[in-house]
Structure 1
Amino acid sequence: MREIVLDTETTGVNALSGDRVVEIGCVELLNHVATGNSWHAYINPERDMPAEAEAVHGLSAAFLSDKPVFAAVAGDFLDFIQDSPLIIHNASFDMGFLNAEFTRLGLKTMPMARSVDTVAMARKRFPGAPASLDALCRRFGIDNSGRTYHGALLDAQLLAEVYLELMGGRQPDLVLGATVVKTADVGLVVVEETRIFRAPRPHAASPEELEAHAAFLKAIKSPLWLAGEEPAAVTSG
């Protein structure tokens, strides 16, 4: 199963009032294992960068001024994600911005049903607990020390690890001792199970144990398993 972990950075929080996408980062998963295949782009938003947004992701209007516009990267982006499910932290935000960009270009929008919201997953699993990406990294012991600013590709990489933990851990299918092999030529991941041979353990009772058991049974008066049987004849000598 192929999935795409996705994150975006934007000029603000309202896609319908003129805020734009300025960065997209994607990480490919195959059967819940990162393949090492990713897609990333900085995007010229064709507008100014509000100071509060730049404080979050560190991307200035000057830095983005020579980057391609969304129309120039949309085709490559769609080719990469194909029809795979999209794993997104707060999916309605990123999906809303991407669909606003597609609408400007007259392209087909993406249905929310193809997204998996890891915020909702976290809140269901840990009711009342913080569900931010940083909080989940701390909960699962994932190193996010390099996250000085929000960055789409770095956040997608961290989210891929968080998503795996939310799914039940690093071996969600309980195939213990599995080895992951990546074939660089075709980009496939093969999971091979490693089996360790263990000699069967002896389980038959020893003569001493059998003798002790027989002595124990003789000490029981009127055992249930002898109910209904004729009592043994008593002889006198």
Structure 2
Amino acid sequence: MIAAATTPSFIDRALGLFRHPPENPVLRENAEYFSDFDQDRPLADYEFCVVDTELTGLSSRTDEIVSIGAVRIKNLSITANSYYSLVAPKGELPKLSTMIHRITPEMLKDAPRLRTIFPEFMNFCGHSLIVGHNIGLDMSFLNRAGTDILGGKLSTPCIDTMRLSQIYQQELWENYYDQFDGQVSYQLYDLSNRYGLPSFNQHNALYDAMQTAYLFLFLVKKLRSGGIKTLRDLYLAGRSWRWYF
């Protein structure tokens, strides 16, 4: 058993990184890497994996993943490296979910099970920090998969672009750049339109991940008038926001 670090930083404690190593070697390596994680390097030094899932519903206990999409960010630029897979659920595909993401039972007939593709998805993410829009929802499903398939949850810190957007809007209001608007929509595509970002087809896991990647880079450059230089700066910019595991 690999011992956990004995002197975690205050950020480690805040992010919940100080844990006993899990038994599974993949999860153990994941936990070991992030147990002694340097948050003070320039943001361009980190790699990010922007993730989105399409689901049969919103309950992480009873619903299932039907597709996963992800893109990589390196040097604060979106790379050509992407991941996408349909996922065959164990249960029936509700008609309402098909109406949202347009994934049909026929499309999933020959799709792999989550147990089959989860290790390759983990490999794609590697040591990147995970980014997503309302990432807590995605991670609740992915962590259930990690528990069912590998015996434990991921230790990777995750950044929520929805929360970053709320922080950015608050900065605008506080600095009188914009009048307070309680009707601002924090839906991914509404925010992208509001900020004039490139637009992609909605409710496709890969396209949504790409849309989120553009939103993330926009927010990183805009927050605190571009004064976000390190991962610690990003954390402190919204120290009341949650990092999900």
Report the equivalent of 1:138.
193
Counterparts of 2:150 and 2:81, CA distance in 1: 29
**1:38-49 equivalences in 2 (<5 Å):** 38-49=82-93
Q: Could you say what secondary structure the match of 1:6 adopts? A: strand
Cα offset for 1:83?
Answer: 2.2
Counterparts of 1:106 and 1:141, CA distance in 2: 41
TM-score (normalizing by structure 1): 0.67
Amino acid at match of 1:86: I
Higher strand share: 1
Aligned residues: 169
Q: Could you say what secondary structure the match of 1:126 adopts? A: helix
Which one has the largest radius of gyration?
A: 1
Cα offset for 1:105?
Answer: 1.6
Q: Does residue 118 of structure 2 align to residue 74 of structure 1? A: yes
Q: Does residue 169 of structure 2 align to residue 116 of structure 1? A: no
Q: Gapped runs of 5+ residues in structure 1?
A: 175-237
TM-score (normalizing by structure 2): 0.65
Counterparts of 2:157 and 2:214, CA distance in 1: 20
**Percent of pairs identical after alignment?**
28
Q: Does residue 205 of structure 2 align to residue 152 of structure 1? A: yes
Which residue, 202, 213, 219 being the options, matches 1:166?
Answer: 219
Counterparts of 1:164 and 1:59, CA distance in 2: 29
Contact 1:27 1:34 in 2 (8 A): yes
1:139-179, Cα deviation, whole Å (9 max, x unpaired): 121232x42x400000111111111111125xx689xxxxx
Q: Could you say what secondary structure the match of 2:61 adopts? A: helix
Report the equivalent of 1:188.
none
Q: Could you say what secondary structure the match of 2:221 adopts? A: coil
**1:1-237 equivalences in 2 (<5 Å):** 1-17=46-62, 19-111=63-155, 114-127=157-170, 128=182, 129-144=184-199, 146-147=200-201, 149-168=202-221
Cα offset for 1:107?
Answer: 3.2
Poorly superposed stretches of 4+, deviation over 4 Å: none
Q: Could you say what secondary structure the match of 1:76 adopts? A: helix
Cα offset for 1:35?
Answer: 1.5
Structure 1 vs Structure 2 CA RMSD: 2.0
Counterparts of 1:108 and 1:79, CA distance in 2: 16
